[in-house]
Chains A and B, each alone.
Chain A
Amino acid sequence: MTETAGTPILEAPQALGAHDQHMVLNMGPQHPSMHGVLRLVVEIDGEIVVRLYPEIGYLHTGIEKTCEAKFYQQVVPLTDRIDYLSPMANNLCYCLAVEKLLQLEIPEKAQWIRVLLTELTRLNSHLIWLGTHAMDIGALTVFLYCFREREDILRIFEAVAGQRMMTSYFRIGGLAMEPPLDLFDRIQSFINIFPEKIDEYSNLLTGNPIFRNRLMGVGVLSAEDAIALAVTGPNMRGSGVDFDLRRDMPYSSYEKFKFSVPVATAGDCWARYEVRLQEMRESVKIIQQALDGMPEGPIKADAPKIVLPDREKMKTQMEALIHHFKIVTEGFAVPAGEVYQGIESPRGQMGYYVVSDGTAKPYRVHMRNPSFATLQAIETMCKGRMLADVVAVVGSIDIVLGEIDR
């Protein structure tokens, strides 16, 4: 069985004598290849990794505690800040959880726009992963190419939500506002060119001997270890486990979309690269279906005590004004109970566990973030490999420290 972060190695190698050649090395927390403030304490024998221990918590801001002091609707902006590379996925997961508590039905159009934007978020997140991963390996060009396309996505987000990164566009009961009129055309013109761009990245990397040699056979994680260590998402599918919440436990009308779930069996960094590259192509397919079949109708649930009224109505109708005032000043009560809502975020299975005691503030909000669990597997992947491979592995598992530390 795998050993996960057994005993801490902080100052000195475990035993001297036979191991007196070992050295303990700190990677991070301030290191360009650590994708944030991750500290890895590595015990090395020459250049071979003997043990590796991730030290986290540098970004811990107590978001879960803060949530307990906010109204339900005030938590939405906090969820953006957990994973700043896929804010829409966090918005979606939280809103779905609260809507489940409220047993609130969301109009079809709102659900479809949520799918559309969540898939764009996946592209956005995967682009950053690809760019930084390739940069860690030494291919700087790809980074610039990826950020060029990411800029297009961020412009779309800005048009939708008024914000490039901290979107907060999904609200409890639907969406914040009607999307701009030309939104679907803009997304269409983006995905018209995007598959060619994926080919472009692939041309730069897939045949590149340096990139191949740095990734193939490096950081192997078996399917059993992936499940045992709660690794999810593309990392798990790279190890040959064919499971995707979007397909297997659909939410927000994902059951109406046709897409395939890419799986690779090798379990190494290369397999994870292939899976994510393929996932981008599948996301484009989902976005195309969402654009083609976009239903008509409202974008907010008909629940005046929960969903803020339109500005127009709020300024002209007494009742709407009262509801607006009540929601903003007192929030809305949510029936007591506990729910867990899981979604497939770009990094794996994300889950929001929301407990209500019947008041307007959540009694407890807990986020299950995929990166946190993935970090447990890093020792298994790096043990016995060269120190330089640690950088390749950290890049390939696509972690975000904001989401790990919360």
Chain B
Amino acid sequence: MSAPANDLLTRAAVLEGLPDHPAIKALLALSPEVLIDARFDRGELTLTIAPEQIRAAAEAVKMAGYNAFEDTTAVDWFPSSPRLQVSYHILSHSYKERIRLRVMLPAEDPTVETVTSVWPGANYYEREVFDLFGINFEGHPNLRRIMMPDDWAGHPLRKDYPVEGYR
């Protein structure tokens, strides 16, 4: 795939600069509203997905050739709003290229549908995000804490959780 030379920082610029990108095409075919924002920065494509559509979007990009799930994690943008970002890194073995899907979630009751039905390998990663960020993954087969003890209070990787912990 020919990568553009410059960074493309808005949705319109990405749609213009990468008209034939298989993942973008698949998402737009699903529905134009799925793709809220797009960014091509430092050679990496970031696609912001409407949170309620993440499973459908995951299925669409998987069908488009992005077959290998690599990683899920979150970023806490406290105190800005929307507060939580969940990033999915998906690799394509055939295109030899990686894309990043992301969803933005509010501080109040952050919930997003699980992608374990699309990629079973997301299981532990979503458990980790649930444990350390307190984000709920709807439909996850076994949403329990994975790193911290089961009776732990709080979510350590949130920005309002002190580095030294509560003593």
Which A positions have Cβ atoms within 8 angstroms of B? 1-2, 4-8, 56-57, 60, 62, 64-66, 68-69, 100-101, 103, 227-231, 241, 243, 248-249, 337-340, 342, 349, 351, 353, 355, 363-364, 366, 368, 372-373, 375-376, 405-406
With A8-B144, A56-B147, A349-B70 in contact, is A337–B163 under 8 Å at CB?
Answer: no
B53 at the interface (CB under 8 A from A): no
Q: In the complex, are the beta carbons of B89 and A340 less than 8 A apart?
A: yes
Contact of B71 among A66, A231, A368 (CB under 8 A): A368
How many Å lie between the Cα of A337 and that of B46 in the bound state?
A: 11
Q: In the complex, are the beta carbons of B96 and A351 less than 8 A apart?
A: no
Provide the residues of chain A in CB contact with B46, threshold 8 Å.
Answer: 338
Q: In the complex, are the beta carbons of B71 and A353 less than 8 A apart?
A: yes
Q: In the complex, are the beta carbons of A372 and B124 less than 8 A apart?
A: yes
Q: In the complex, are the beta carbons of B93 and A57 less than 8 A apart?
A: no
Across the interface, name the chain A residue whose C-beta is closest to B46.
A338
Q: In the complex, are the beta carbons of B157 and A64 less than 8 A apart?
A: yes
Q: In the complex, are the beta carbons of A366 and B42 less than 8 A apart?
A: no
Q: In the complex, are the beta carbons of A6 and B142 less than 8 A apart?
A: yes
Across the interface, name the chain A residue whose C-beta is closest to B129.
A366
How many Å lie between the Cα of A79 and that of B42 in the bound state?
A: 23
Provide the residues of chain B in CB contact with A366, threshold 8 Å.
Answer: 71, 73
With A62-B156, A364-B75 in contact, is A5–B70 under 8 Å at CB?
Answer: no
Query: Contact flags (1/0) for B42-54 with A, using CB distance below 8 Å?
Result: 1110100000000
Min Cβ gap B80→A in Å is 10
Within B6-62, the residues touching A (CB, 8 Å) are 41-44, 46
Min Cβ gap B62→A in Å is 10
How many Å lie between the Cα of A248 and that of B96 in the bound state?
A: 6
Which B positions have Cβ atoms within 8 angstroms of A? 41-44, 46, 67-71, 73, 75-76, 87, 89, 91, 93, 96-98, 100, 116, 119-125, 132, 141-142, 144-149, 156-157, 161, 163
Contact of A340 among B98, B132, B149 (CB under 8 A): B98
Q: In the complex, are the beta carbons of A57 and B120 less than 8 A apart?
A: no
With A5-B142, A57-B148, A338-B46 in contact, is A351–B70 under 8 Å at CB?
Answer: yes
Min Cβ gap A4→B in Å is 5
With A56-B147, A68-B163, A376-B124 in contact, is A353–B68 under 8 Å at CB?
Answer: no
Provide the residues of chain A in CB contact with B122, threshold 8 Å.
Answer: 230
How many Å lie between the Cα of A386 and that of B76 in the bound state?
A: 44
Provide the residues of chain A in CB contact with B97, threshold 8 Å.
Answer: 249
Q: In the complex, are the beta carbons of B124 and A375 less than 8 A apart?
A: yes
Contact of B121 among A101, A229, A249, A342 (CB under 8 A): A229
Q: Point out which of B73, B100, B163 has the most chain A C-beta atoms below 10 A from its C-beta.
A: B73
With A65-B157, A353-B89 in contact, is A373–B121 under 8 Å at CB?
Answer: yes
| Complex A-B, nearest 7 residue pairs according to Cβ-Cβ distance, in ascending order | A230-B121, A368-B71, A366-B73, A60-B147, A57-B147, A229-B121, A4-B123
How many Å lie between the Cα of A339 and that of B44 in the bound state?
A: 7
With A6-B141, A353-B87 in contact, is A368–B75 under 8 Å at CB?
Answer: no
Q: In the complex, are the beta carbons of A4 and B75 less than 8 A apart?
A: no
Q: In the complex, are the beta carbons of A243 and B71 less than 8 A apart?
A: no
Min Cβ gap B161→A in Å is 8
Q: In the complex, are the beta carbons of A230 and B119 less than 8 A apart?
A: yes
What are 19 A-B contacts defined by CB distance under 8 Å? A4-B141, A6-B141, A7-B142, A56-B147, A57-B145, A62-B156, A230-B70, A231-B121, A249-B97, A337-B41, A338-B75, A342-B91, A342-B98, A351-B70, A364-B73, A364-B76, A373-B124, A376-B121, A405-B147
Min Cβ gap A46→B in Å is 26
Min Cβ gap B145→A in Å is 8
Contact of A4 among B43, B68, B120, B146 (CB under 8 A): B120
Provide the residues of chain B in CB contact with A56, threshold 8 Å.
Answer: 146-147
Contact of B87 among A5, A338, A375 (CB under 8 A): A338
Min Cβ gap A155→B in Å is 35
Across the interface, name the chain A residue whose C-beta is closest to B68.
A227
How many Å lie between the Cα of A243 and that of B92 in the bound state?
A: 10
Provide the residues of chain A in CB contact with B121, threshold 8 Å.
Answer: 4, 228-231, 373, 376
Q: Point out which of A64, A230, A405 has the most chain B C-beta atoms below 10 A from its C-beta.
A: A230
How many Å lie between the Cα of A251 and that of B42 in the bound state?
A: 14
Q: In the complex, are the beta carbons of A230 and B69 less than 8 A apart?
A: yes
Across the interface, name the chain B residue whose C-beta is closest to A375.
B124
Provide the residues of chain A in CB contact with B100, threshold 8 Å.
Answer: 338, 340
Q: In the complex, are the beta carbons of A249 and B42 less than 8 A apart?
A: no
Min Cβ gap A53→B in Å is 9
Q: In the complex, are the beta carbons of B75 and A363 less than 8 A apart?
A: yes
Q: In the complex, are the beta carbons of B124 and A60 less than 8 A apart?
A: no
Min Cβ gap B88→A in Å is 10
Q: In the complex, are the beta carbons of B42 and A103 less than 8 A apart?
A: yes
Min Cβ gap B96→A in Å is 5
Q: In the complex, are the beta carbons of B148 and A60 less than 8 A apart?
A: yes
Provide the residues of chain A in CB contact with B149, threshold 8 Å.
Answer: 57
Q: In the complex, are the beta carbons of A340 and B147 less than 8 A apart?
A: no
With A8-B144, A351-B89, A372-B124 in contact, is A227–B98 under 8 Å at CB?
Answer: no
Provide the residues of chain A in CB contact with B156, threshold 8 Å.
Answer: 62, 65
Provide the residues of chain A in CB contact with B148, threshold 8 Å.
Answer: 57, 60
How many Å lie between the Cα of A130 and that of B50 in the bound state?
A: 46
Provide the residues of chain B in CB contact with A6, threshold 8 Å.
Answer: 141-142
